[in-house]
Amino acid sequence: MSNPKTILKLDVSARGKASVSRQLADDLVARLLEADPQARVLTRDLSTGLPFIDEAWIGANFTDPAERTPEQKLKLALSDTLVNELRSADILVIGLPVYNFGVPATLKAWIDLVARARETFRYTENGPVGLLDGRKAYVVFASGGTAIGSDIDFASGYLRHMLGFVGITDVSFIAADQMMMDADAKREAARAAIEDLAGRAA
């Protein structure tokens, strides 16, 4: 009997329960669970804050694991936890609110903590290769005025690139963009997209 799948859900928005990206990500996870009731869900709320990498973190990360001091291991402990969460996931669901045309600082901090050479990617003579292939990612993109894929959208392309950088190339975006224009219509379109994607995942 195969092991149940793990869904890792990243909540990013600082708006809490009022967040459209959180609500739609919850809807998506609920539909994925309907399709696979045995799947387990692991939630990481990034809105509570993550530390930014600093000189000590970089020094610890580039020290051979066998030679790291207890202080260096402690410095990398949270990063190790986040990397292990990502490794354990078969499906990644990210609720992505657009802040000032880009990703929120907490999501960028998460990316900096999980994009680690020898852990989630490796360097080869042909360039970097991601180590987390075989996973599926869904990104729920919510914005007030930024159209997904537009010239002022610096969030979706960046996130797709970074996921691909660590090997996650099967990425689907669900957009509730430009909510200031027609929030109800945008939300319903996103919910319809969730139904469609979840149905195909069943």
Q: Is 20 annotated for ligand binding?
A: yes
Does residue 137 come out as left (phi exceeding 0), alpha (psi in the -120 to 50 range) or beta? beta
Query: Pairing state of beta strands 136-142 and 91-97?
Result: parallel
How many Å apart are CA 134 and CA 90, to the nearest integer?
Answer: 8
Please name the residue ranges forming H helices in 7-132: 20-35, 55-61, 70-75, 77-88, 105-114
Which residues fall within 8 angstroms of residue 148, CB to CB, at 6 or more apart? 141, 156, 173, 175, 177
Q: Is 172 annotated for ligand binding?
A: no
Q: Is 139 annotated for ligand binding?
A: no
Residue 50: name the closest of 26, 81, 23, 95 by CA. Answer: 81
Q: Is 150 annotated for ligand binding?
A: no
Q: Report the binding-site residues for FMN.
A: 13, 19-21
Q: Report the binding-site residues.
A: 13, 19-21
